[in-house]
Structure 1
Amino acid sequence: MTSEIPPRRRIAIGMRGVALLAAALVGLALCVAGIWQLEAARAGVTITSLQAGTTPMTVYRRDGAAAAPVVVIAHGFAGSRQFMEAYALTLAHAGYLAVSFDFEGHGRNPVAMSGDVTRVDGTTRKLMSEIGRVTDAALSLPGVDGRVALLGHSMASDIIVRQALADPRIAATVAISMFSEAATASAPRNLLIITGEWETSLRQDALRNLRLADSVANEGDTVGDPAGSGGRRAVVAPGVEHVSVLYSTTGLREARDWLDRVFGRSSSGPVAATGGAIALLLAGIVLLAWPLAELLPKREAPPPTIPLRSLATVTLVPAVATPIVLRFVETRFLPVLVADYLAVHLFVYGALSLLLLRLRGVRFGRLAWLAALALAAYGIAIFGGALDRYVASFMPIAARVPIIAAIAIGAVPYMLADSIANQGGHAALWRTAWIRAAFLASLGGAVALDFKRLFFLLIIIPVIVLFFIVFGLIGGSVGRRTCSPLAEGIGLGLILAWSLGVSFPMFLPG
């Protein structure tokens, strides 16, 4: 004899089915719309991969374009060629030959960054030499008329300013989110500074550099004559910060127009502001995770709620203890900037949390291996594949595989503890925010205790926040379906290790 499903339960099941179908259709539509727009931005441009010695380059050339100046495009810290594609496509559509590349230690460059990162004659000088080699290779390409400009973001802004001062071939410099002490009143020649509206300190620095040339100039003013003896300009891209400035229509148009003035050209073609399309694609992938997770085997009983006192113990004790303990531990064992410390921090924090959870009587539940592997595959292959093509390098070269494996030793225990404390995605939002804020505070404490060694962690913290938001939503869908925090934790731990392993610059001191 079978029991009849109550009417309210049938209605709830039906509404859930409709919601899942709607999520699947909307997610698919977002993915299609995003891919269509991103591929449309590439239409009419031939994209070729080349090498300048060991440095990987990508050349963007408009089909049928006449001989034109070449623009060498450099990414920022922990970036890659893909980060700069909006500028490369915009300039290629305008008829320029655009050449982007991966700095040593970044993206798919197999050579580790080296030198002293705190000294101009250390790492900075080595990266300047690399830009010089890429410039030589770019000028030798067919279709280049012998003229060259540099464009760079964040860390690269200082590198390109210094290189433009050292290399008389450089006719113009476009510095995005610039921080550099190297510029003078008249050099580098034809300097355009683009800063996001929300980059307050960098806007002040841009204005300072503009006023070296004219003490009363303001944002938006052009000092001198870029078509003649040389000019300088500082502009603000509205409504953007340090990363989204790379997709600002204002910034893209200003860069193109500035180079046109310097080189006496009149360009046409679309501005490839691809940020919105990227957001559509990634949002679609995140949304699709919910209906796809429903294909996994289901367990009815969710993990029990953890008492507040226990939750406070398993978060606050590791948050305080981990940075204090590691202050006295040597953690330099990977050829990557601060990733070795982060791996150890994750391991200690996760191990302490798991121990305290067990001592507090929290049951970990069963492990659904299929769900764990499906989550890892979705995050790495599907979401990561989209990132790799349109946003940033996500598929590792061979040298990064052992780095990912080493980070996983710390990332998996940490994400296991996080998922168990979050009840496999069933915890209230404020609990999730508390759990993850405690970990971020722990990283902040580590930086405060050893700022000289760990200040690069400050750059990575926003990446971890983004990971929590994006992959937390994907992992939560799996955790709520399977009621297996262990599956969610292992899957997210592998994704986190992969994400950090491909993002941190490879580095060898000396």
Structure 2
Amino acid sequence: MAAVLVAVLSVVMLERQRDGVSSERMTLASTPVTVWRSNEIEGGPLVVVAHGYAGSRQMMQPISIALARAGFVVAAFDFLGHGRNTDPMTGDVASLEGATARLVEQTIAVAQAARDLPGVTGPISLVGHSMATDVVIRTAERIDDVAAVVAISMYSDAVTPNSPERLLIVSGAREGRLRDVALGRLHQIDTEAIEGETVTNGAVVRRAVAAPSVGHVGVLYSQFTLTEVRDWIAATAGSKSVGPLPHIAPWLLTLLISLVVLMWPLSNALGPPLVRPAQLGRRIILILVAPIAPALLAAIVILPGMGGLFAFGALTVFTGTWGAVQLALLWRVGVRPARIRPRAIALMLVWGLGIFALALNHYGAAFVPTGRRLGIMLMLMLGTVPFCVADALVVARSGWIASLGQRILPLLTLLCAMLVSTELGIAFTVLPVMVLFWMVYGLAGGWVQKRSDPTSVGFVLGVILAWSVAASTPLVAS
């Protein structure tokens, strides 16, 4: 009951953060866009908001809401291959003439289409995070009436002493390297300038600041960031900084934690705890290390463009090989998958995909596979299901040290494969996704497994892992 009440309270408070604004999903220039407006201020200047690599317009909600409340018309969009945009990103991601050029063209097209929205007046401002900082800075060079540019967690070589004319650079206090980059761009105007200072040189106005106590993602939710972004763009437009700032991060975190905690009492519905099976003893060492070499080799030699997209074929083969080797060794020592239990599977699917995933998708980040991502999910399941079934069988018969090794060794091996194969390295965001997957779904699966069986839990975790990777990994065409 406590978990339900906290979850309901969190949803109510998250919805209250949207008071005074309205949002409308639409397609502009073949791109999924969410347009945010104030309910109290009719019309206003346009602000185009762009996310970072593996991000989505959902992650930019705090900035979008803060600007909409201040009277701006905000168009937040999904880059090619990201979020709800299932058209893949194409071109060399490391080349300015490749993927970057295409993303700049996409941003220009969205900005031009958004100009025709009802109520849009005056010049355009551009806001970008991480990867998008380079994109919006280069976009500003191509559009005549850009009033202001905001670069959050910036890395871009396109900043010159004369362009962009009005640039705010916001870094997280924990982003030391990016803070140095920002200070260097400030020194293009004044070599004695320090962080937190606004410097000018004719028409050029530049400012670099650091949001306290946050890193690369937290900077998007920081009240410091929201204040700086809103005030910078408002000053350019000659308007007042009005409207309260949204407090999304604490309530989003509270919601997700309460939903995870909720799974603990829900698992009690499956019956009393079962007797823990006998541990594997010294045989666990071979089972843990045997998949390393074959899975690493499989991930490296697989055709990088399998299915027309980078990384997903290699990820399928990597997880499938790892799971197949472990299942074969477990079979040899007499540990075999049991008959699955529908009640346990139904409980985990309803909670994991029907409740937790939808809550994260609505308030935090794109987390629902759509379009071609559904086909990718089905392909990934060929590898993730045996991978997670083997994992559940091993963890059920291991101590905490071996269980930790069972989770860490695949991540380290996959990291090595990404360092060797540049095509697979494009999917580096899979690593933090898998860490969060084990922290959330692995914990919930452990509660269910105590009252069910490893095979059922492993099967569901395999489905959810495929869902997670398919929904969050950028689509990059080979």
Counterpart in the other structure of 1:456: 426
Paired AA for residue 464 in structure 1: M
Partners of 1:336 and 1:504 within 8 A in 2: no
Counterpart in the other structure of 2:250: 276
Tell me which moved more, 292-301 or 165-174.
292-301
- CA deviation vs aligned residue, 1:416-474 (integer Å, no higher than 9, x gap): 11111110xx7544333221111111112212322x22322433211211111011111
Tell me the distance in 2 between the aligned counterparts of 1:455 and 1:216: 39
Classify 1:144/1:479 alpha carbon distance in 2 versus 1 (closer, same or farther; 3 Å): same
- CA deviation vs aligned residue, 1:209-238 (integer Å, no higher than 9, x gap): 22222222121111117xx82311111111
Counterpart in the other structure of 1:344: 317
Tell me the distance in 2 between the aligned counterparts of 1:137 and 1:331: 35
In the TM superposition, 1:54-453 aligns within 5 A as 54-224=30-200, 229-298=203-272, 300-307=274-281, 309-423=282-396, 427-450=398-421, 452-453=422-423
Classify 1:145/1:206 alpha carbon distance in 2 versus 1 (closer, same or farther; 3 Å): same
Tell me the distance in 1 between the aligned counterparts of 2:20 and 2:309: 38
Tell me the distance in 1 between the aligned counterparts of 2:355 and 2:310: 27
Tell me the distance in 1 between the aligned counterparts of 2:140 and 2:192: 25
Counterpart in the other structure of 1:6: none
Partners of 1:158 and 1:179 within 8 A in 2: yes
Paired AA for residue 422 in structure 1: V
Q: Give the counterpart of 2:445 among 465, 475, 481.
A: 475
CA RMSD of aligned residues (A): 1.7
Tell me the distance in 2 between the aligned counterparts of 1:165 and 1:53: 20
**Which aligned runs of 4 or more in structure 1 are off by greater than 4 angstroms?**
none
Paired AA for residue 453 in structure 1: E
In the TM superposition, 1:486-501 aligns within 5 A as 486-501=455-470
Paired AA for residue 458 in structure 2: G
Deviation at residue 506 of structure 1 after TM alignment: 2.1
Classify 1:303/1:47 alpha carbon distance in 2 versus 1 (closer, same or farther; 3 Å): same
Counterpart in the other structure of 2:3: 27
Deviation at residue 403 of structure 1 after TM alignment: 0.7
Q: TM-score, normalised by structure 2?
A: 0.96
Paired AA for residue 275 in structure 1: A
Deviation at residue 331 of structure 1 after TM alignment: 4.5
- CA deviation vs aligned residue, 1:289-328 (integer Å, no higher than 9, x gap): 1111111245622222221x22221111212332134333
Deviation at residue 94 of structure 1 after TM alignment: 1.2
Deviation at residue 254 of structure 1 after TM alignment: 0.7
In structure 2, runs of 5+ residues without a counterpart are none
Partners of 2:274 and 2:450 within 8 A in 1: no
Counterpart in the other structure of 1:15: none
Aligned to 2:47, the other structure's residue is in SS state strand
Paired AA for residue 403 in structure 1: I
Tell me the distance in 2 between the aligned counterparts of 1:54 and 1:301: 56
Deviation at residue 348 of structure 1 after TM alignment: 0.8
Partners of 1:60 and 1:92 within 8 A in 2: yes
Deviation at residue 38 of structure 1 after TM alignment: 0.7
Deviation at residue 363 of structure 1 after TM alignment: 4.1
Counterpart in the other structure of 1:485: 454
Counterpart in the other structure of 2:475: 506
Paired AA for residue 96 in structure 1: F
Counterpart in the other structure of 1:14: none
Partners of 2:273 and 2:450 within 8 A in 1: no
- CA deviation vs aligned residue, 1:483-506 (integer Å, no higher than 9, x gap): x01111011110010111111222
Tell me which moved more, 101-110 or 321-330.
321-330
Tell me which moved more, 405-414 or 140-149.
140-149
Deviation at residue 250 of structure 1 after TM alignment: 0.7
Tell me the distance in 1 between the aligned counterparts of 2:158 and 2:187: 14
Tell me the distance in 2 between the aligned counterparts of 1:360 and 1:284: 40
Aligned to 1:66, the other structure's residue is in SS state coil
Deviation at residue 265 of structure 1 after TM alignment: 1.6
Paired AA for residue 255 in structure 2: L
Paired AA for residue 407 in structure 2: R
- CA deviation vs aligned residue, 1:118-166 (integer Å, no higher than 9, x gap): 2111111111111111101221112211211011111111111111122
Counterpart in the other structure of 1:38: 14
Partners of 1:337 and 1:504 within 8 A in 2: no
Q: Identity of counterpart residues, as a percentage?
A: 37
Tell me the distance in 2 between the aligned counterparts of 1:465 and 1:299: 27
Partners of 1:150 and 1:174 within 8 A in 2: yes
Tell me the distance in 1 between the aligned counterparts of 2:405 and 2:288: 8
Partners of 2:128 and 2:152 within 8 A in 1: yes
Partners of 2:300 and 2:314 within 8 A in 1: no
Paired AA for residue 165 in structure 2: R
Tell me the distance in 1 between the aligned counterparts of 2:441 and 2:346: 14
Tell me the distance in 2 between the aligned counterparts of 1:54 and 1:365: 48
Count matched residues: 478
Tell me which moved more, 390-399 or 294-303.
294-303
Partners of 1:331 and 1:344 within 8 A in 2: no
Tell me the distance in 1 between the aligned counterparts of 2:427 and 2:84: 22
Deviation at residue 172 of structure 1 after TM alignment: 0.8
Deviation at residue 394 of structure 1 after TM alignment: 2.2
Tell me which moved more, 174-183 or 499-508.
499-508
Tell me the distance in 1 between the aligned counterparts of 2:135 and 2:46: 18
Tell me the distance in 1 between the aligned counterparts of 2:283 and 2:244: 57
